[in-house]
Structure 1
Amino acid sequence: MGQDDRLRLSSSFGAAAAAYAEHRPDYAQTAVRWALEQPAPGLRVLDLGAGTGKLTATLVALGADVIAVEPDPAMLSELRRSLPAVRALPGSAEEIPLPDTSVDAVLAGNAMHWFDMAVAGPEIARVLAPGGILAGLWNVMDDQDDWVAGLARVSGSAAVGPRDTPASWRTETAGMHLPRTGVAARFGSPEQAGFPHEQRRTADSLVATLATRAGMLVMPEQEREATLGRIRAYLAGRPETADGEFALPMLTCVLRVRALQQDVG
């Protein structure tokens, strides 16, 4: 993805901040615990690209000392509204408004693919304490269920993108780690893992969730409505989703890398 496309897509969420806050899922606690690789209470954690605070809320529930950083003013406003006790700052992965070695872990929920790692990598390394954790988390739909696989086909890449099912997530994120040059060379090898999760949805709320994807938000209105119409028709025709509430099977997938301890000498 080119830089212009990345910026266009990553800046699309503010216009749908309230819908994002209402419809996007939280993160499996088991996944967050694995990402941190240690007990959370008292741990200094930066939620980078925090959006409306979906991951922030999970970290707070686990007892972490959380700082949230988010570049979009509308998303940041939603985060502050829902989590007023959390320290929430404007900033980005490329310009983190924190001192050197000030956090024990940097986590990013459905956000790391928007980072310019050539710039963000050294910034993340700067704010992390030696031995700290960097982890990206993504909620992906579990397409082992036939109806979910069908939904992915009907929705198209704008609604169900290259990181939105387990196999494609693993491939797309395999190389998404810090560059091995300069200060960022202080990181070990990346690890991947997935953890079962689910979101209670109705057909209408699942359509609303998919409508908050970046590819959908930047789509021309006529094309967007046609895509959402196909999704509605598909959900109405499946016994699993036609009536009432159902569970959308998901995984919270994690890409984790640890900052190496600095040599003493």
Structure 2
Amino acid sequence: MFINIFMTLTLVLAPTQIQADTNNNEAYYQIGEPSRDGIGKFYMGREISHVMGHLGAGWLERPKREREERTDLLLQNLSLKVTDHVVDLGAGTGYFSFPMALQLTSGRVLAVDIEPEMLKLIEQRKSADGVENIDVVLASERSPNIPDASVDVVLLVDAYHEFSYPREVMAGVVKGLKQGGRVILVEYRGEDSSVPIKRLHKMTQRQAKKEMSAVGLKWLRTDDYLPQQHVMVFTKI
């Protein structure tokens, strides 16, 4: 998962006040009073959540995760080609990286994360299991560090809502995608109050579509075969 190094300002600003983006001086983000589970930074009306750091690795690898989230169904329905180059963005412990690598007999997985501790866990498992088609990539809070026009699919599972700079990261994703490449965004259903996840760790389809459209991604479809999460598929226009 991505680690958030955005620091709460000593002076709490009103939600209507704008923080200009430091790269292009456009006003993308707002700073306001943080909620219990948020960082007080808002993007397109959504407060960015706190993150799960490397200390949460055990949660990502919990034995009942497959049963609760049906991660097996997600892996079966990614429609990967054996030659694809796939980014696991916010790879964490590599929970999805390793089974995807098995599917990509002539392709590769880029396990991308902002936490060196997570990437170290992936490297250790690669060595132990003899997996050769996973490359670890250290991202920054503003960039996924993906080479331009180099990947076919970018998978984000319960990670996007934690990005400190979602617009910049996703702009980097778009640059990294080949024409016609896909972004598969998996998030807990924000429309469903019965999903037992904190509000800021969920997203609605409407919000996700708005944010992906802002960086030039076109919504293709939303699959709801998982018990608690949307699987939202976008493509590079």
TM-score bracket, shorter-length normalisation: 0.5 to 0.7
Query: Residue 88 of structure 2 contacts residue 111 of structure 2 at CA under 8 Å; is this kept in 1?
Result: yes
Corresponding residue of 2:22 = none
Matched residue count: 181
Other structure's SS at 2:74 match: helix
Query: Residue 182 of structure 2 contacts residue 234 of structure 2 at CA under 8 Å; is this kept in 1?
Result: yes
Corresponding residue of 1:3 = 41
Query: Deviation digits for residues 5-24 of structure 1, max 9, x if unmatched?
Result: 847x22x4222334533457
Query: Deviation digits for residues 89-133 of structure 1, max 9, x if unmatched?
Result: 211463122210010111111111112322122111100000000
Query: Residue 21 of structure 1 contacts residue 78 of structure 1 at CA under 8 Å; is this kept in 2?
Result: no
Corresponding residue of 1:157 = none
Q: Percent identity?
A: 18
- Counterpart pick for 1:134 among 183, 198, 205: 183
Question: Who wins on radius of gyration, i.e. which is larger?
Answer: 1
- Counterpart pick for 1:51 among 84, 92, 99: 92
Corresponding residue of 1:175 = 207
Distance in 2 separating the partners of 1:55 and 1:139: 17
Corresponding residue of 2:234 = 257
Unpaired runs of at least 5, structure 1: 144-148, 153-159, 197-249, 261-265
- TM score, norm. by length of structure 2: 0.63
Distance in 2 separating the partners of 1:105 and 1:173: 20
CA positional deviation for 1:190: 4.9
Corresponding residue of 2:61 = 21
- Counterpart pick for 2:198 among 143, 146, 161: 161
Query: Deviation digits for residues 157-192 of structure 1, max 9, x if unmatched?
Result: xxx22377xxxx5x62432144545xx32x222522
User: Which stretch has the larger CA shift, 82-91 or 102-111?
Assistant: 82-91
- Counterpart pick for 1:125 among 161, 171, 174: 174
Correspondences of 1:6-155 after superposition (within 5 Å): 6=48, 9-10=50-51, 12-23=52-63, 25-26=65-66, 28-34=71-77, 36=78, 38-63=79-104, 65-84=108-127, 85=131, 86-92=134-140, 94-115=142-163, 116-138=165-187, 152=196
Other structure's SS at 2:93 match: coil
Choose between structure 1 and 2: higher helix proportion. 1
Corresponding residue of 1:194 = 224
- TM score, norm. by length of structure 1: 0.57
Choose between structure 1 and 2: higher strand proportion. 2
Q: Cα distance 1:79–1:192, how it changes in 2: closer, same or farther (>3 A)?
A: same
Distance in 2 separating the partners of 1:24 and 1:132: 32
Query: Residue 161 of structure 2 contacts residue 200 of structure 2 at CA under 8 Å; is this kept in 1?
Result: no
Distance in 2 separating the partners of 1:24 and 1:6: 27
Distance in 1 separating the partners of 2:124 and 2:62: 13
Distance in 1 separating the partners of 2:102 and 2:200: 26
Q: Cα distance 1:30–1:20, how it changes in 2: closer, same or farther (>3 A)?
A: closer
Q: Cα distance 1:93–1:137, how it changes in 2: closer, same or farther (>3 A)?
A: farther
Q: How large is the Cα RMSD of the aligned pairs?
A: 3.2
Query: Residue 45 of structure 1 contacts residue 66 of structure 1 at CA under 8 Å; is this kept in 2?
Result: yes
